[in-house]
Amino acid sequence: MAKILIADDDPDAIEMLASALKRYYQIIRCRDGEEALDKAMRLKPDLILLDLVMPKIDGAAVSLILKESQATRNIPVIFFTGHTHYPESMGLDESSVVLAKPVRIEELLKLVRKMMAGIPPRDSGAA
């Protein structure tokens, strides 16, 4: 079963995203960048949904550290933020996938399906 790590310092945002995805994917929840980095390194999710502004380590720094590791460099990342000038001010490049908060669930699901192509989702009828 494919795993998605969701990292956000807002527990309501985590639950909103998790509720939209948990039917099809195993969800790993993180409340800050340090926890996200630790769990990503240990659990090797298939996709990471990463808030850019979090305590301890921001999302951009988490992504850079993950890209430096052979074990995690190929994990795709979808960033989300409430900031309007995210790529330049957060150190992201133009190829980064960034969704504005509040995240539109339909847009997120479409993007996740595209990025998870080839990784089988959990059967929706499974317990």
Q: Decide yes or no: CATH 3.40.50.2300 for domain 3-115.
A: yes
| Cβ-proximal residues to 118 (8 Å cutoff; 6+ apart), any chain | none
Domain ranges of the chain: 3-115
**pLDDT of the residue at 90:** 57
**pLDDT of the residue at 85:** 59
Contact 119, 99 (CB under 8 A): no
In this predicted structure, the answer to whether residue 12 has a pLDDT above a threshold of 90 is: yes
The single residue listed with the structure tokens 């929706």 is 124
35-49, pLDDT tens digit by residue?
999 999 999 999 999
Of 5-14, 16-25, 55-64, 116-125, the poorest mean pLDDT is in 116-125
CA-based radius of gyration for the chain: 14
64-120, pLDDT tens digit by residue?
999 999 999 999 999 988 766 555 555 566 667 888 888 899 999 999 988 888 665
